[in-house]
Structure 1
Amino acid sequence: MTQPDTTGTTIRRSSHFVPGANERLLTKSLATAADGLVLDLEDAVIPDNKDSARATVAGWLADVDFGAKERVVRINPLDSPWCAADVEATMVAPPDAYLVPKVNNAAEVAHLDGMIARWELEHGHRPGGVALLVLGTETPQGLLNIGELARHDRVDALTWGAEDLSAAMGSKANRDASGAYLPVFEYARVMCLVGATAWGKQPLDTVYVDFRDGEGLAAECATSAAMGYTGKITIHPDQIDIVNTAFTPSADEVADAKELLEAFVEAEAAGLMAFAHKGQMVDVPHLTRARKIVQTAELLERCA
């Protein structure tokens, strides 16, 4: 069976949060190197300001030039009083994607798909043109069902959250004294990666809340990239360049991958798919990894 391709066509090394009614922070964020901006209508907006923030974000989508940045709206949870209005208002001039918080199961993903499809039809937008980025571990139910959350065709990426999950479970912390995730949260991180890649969707790592700790962020990004994550959500402009660097294949990595691909061409012509290369045995998994590195580098070059 051929493994699904998780490279995708949208670059999401860094998806950066912007409070949904803060014009100053939006202006600053537009000048950053973030690949996408997440216009937040959920946690960054108090209940009394939900209506005004929603109108502001809808106006941004209609009037602001985001350049090459992906335009993402984090809507309020499906079971909240605000979700339907969030979708209705922002589908007039639709975003590229919605970040969907506190998802419990695949049925909720399908329900949101139906809501969006209705407004795509109503406003004459391309069917399926708005993607979903699903926050899959903010509730215990979501974590239990994470294997199915990315299955829907409209879902393009799966990410996870430690803060809401720890609150939902009554955890006193989600990291130990050394800064490592406690076991249940490391499990959530692993299962997000598995749940995304099982369906060929992009896995996005969660926020690093200590925005002053650049070294800690870089270390966590290095681990994420090594695991297979393709990007990370950011909450402070100082995090963006660190994240972009971590999820961009280095020149040496790209050169090595291209060299390996050439070696596979020669080996296949000789009837081999497993052979020695630079002192180690390589076979199909190494080929798959090399192709992804080159594909990512080429996509970044096209989008530059």
Structure 2
Amino acid sequence: MTQSPNTGDTTVRRSSHFVPGANERMLGKSLATDADSLVLDLEDAVTPDNKDSARATVSGWLGDVDFGAKERVVRINPLDSPWCVDDIAETMVSPPDAYLVPKVNNAAEVVQLDAMVTRWETEHGHPRGGVVLLVLGTETPQGLLNIGELAQHDRVDALSWGAEDLSAAMGSKANRDATGAYLPVFEYARVMCLVGATAWNKQPLDTVFVDFRDDDGLAAECATSAAMGFTGKITIHPAQIDIVNAAFTPSDAELADAQELLEAFADAEAAGRMAFAHRGQMVDVPHLTRARKIVATADAIAERV
């Protein structure tokens, strides 16, 4: 969950679900799920020969399809591809809520993308800053090296990462070991995505879990992800959505504990204290911050549904 730096709106983005570009059947199925965001994919899911037709179809969806409460995201093609400029120009007629931007190398590219979106917001009379960027920050080695600066721009609302493209770019034979754990360089990319996002108060969005038949593995990875501080995850199969949503939704017990702690802080502050014993532990401002985030996330999810 983040608050858009441009609109002030609270965005719930637990599950961001990929929909292959121009696949009407998959769109219909995805609309019936509980995904918070639908990512209409114009990049990897579309062959070069079909880029133009897929873009036209997705542009039509943005203008004609009722997405309900779901965030409408378009994954455009990379900035240095022959299709990126047209992806933005055509889809900005009826703009999405966000662009998922792949293979970003540095902050200068984010500035370029902002200028392109701003141009079409002005051209079509859309609110300035109404379309946010979700940046994929580790799909290239340069992106990983520059991860700390990618989420700095006001238009960026979330930072995610990618193990598959990064491993291909580096010539890695695998990105996980025999136990399923990420190999060190990929775990580093994951950690730096989290740090790079939260350094600028943007959402850290965890990457895909590619084995869509392994529900237990997905649940375990989501639990670790949520414990680290990620607040959402990208999904590639409808069966993953409910598992992901559950992992990034505060449980009833977590919410009750957070509300109790906030009440305790209110009493302590009235007595002039910000550090005190609570349930056998010393608590202070970091615990207050965490409790407030839990309550705010639960409230935003409740309002969405």
Q: Would you say the 8 A contact 1:97–1:131 is kept in 2?
A: yes
Q: Would you say the 8 A contact 1:7–1:295 is kept in 2?
A: no
Q: Would you say the 8 A contact 1:73–1:98 is kept in 2?
A: yes
The runs of 5 or more residues in structure 1 that have no matched partner are: none
1:129 counterpart = 2:123: no
Given the two structures, how large is their TM-score scaled by the length of structure 1?
Answer: 0.98
Identity, % of aligned positions: 83
Residues 249-288 of structure 1 aligned to structure 2 (within 5 Å): 249-288=250-289
1:169 counterpart = 2:155: no
The runs of 5 or more residues in structure 2 that have no matched partner are: 5-9
Quick one: distance in 1 between partners of 2:124 and 2:15? 30
After TM superposition, what 4+ stretches of structure 1 lie above 2 angstroms from structure 2?
5-8
Given the two structures, how large is their TM-score scaled by the length of structure 2?
Answer: 0.97
Residues 1-304 of structure 1 aligned to structure 2 (within 5 Å): 9-304=10-305
Q: Would you say the 8 A contact 2:2–2:157 is kept in 1?
A: no
Encode CA deviations 1:158-187: one digit per residue, 9 max, x unaligned. Answer: 000000000000000000000000000000
Quick one: distance in 2 between partners of 1:179 and 1:111? 37
Quick one: distance in 1 between partners of 2:205 and 2:260? 28
Quick one: distance in 2 between partners of 1:117 and 1:162? 30
* Aligned partner of residue 147 in structure 1, secondary structure: helix
Determine the structure 1 residue equivalent to 2:7: none
Using the TM superposition, give the Cα deviation of residue 7 of structure 1 relative to its aligned residue in structure 2, in angstroms. Answer: 6.1
Quick one: distance in 2 between partners of 1:25 and 1:192? 29
Q: Would you say the 8 A contact 1:274–1:281 is kept in 2?
A: yes
RMSD: 0.9
Q: Which range moves more in the overlay, 263-272 or 52-61?
A: 263-272
Using the TM superposition, give the Cα deviation of residue 6 of structure 1 relative to its aligned residue in structure 2, in angstroms. Answer: 5.0
Using the TM superposition, give the Cα deviation of residue 132 of structure 1 relative to its aligned residue in structure 2, in angstroms. Answer: 0.2
Using the TM superposition, give the Cα deviation of residue 268 of structure 1 relative to its aligned residue in structure 2, in angstroms. Answer: 1.1
The one-letter amino acid paired with 2:42 is: L
Q: Would you say the 8 A contact 2:2–2:11 is kept in 1?
A: no
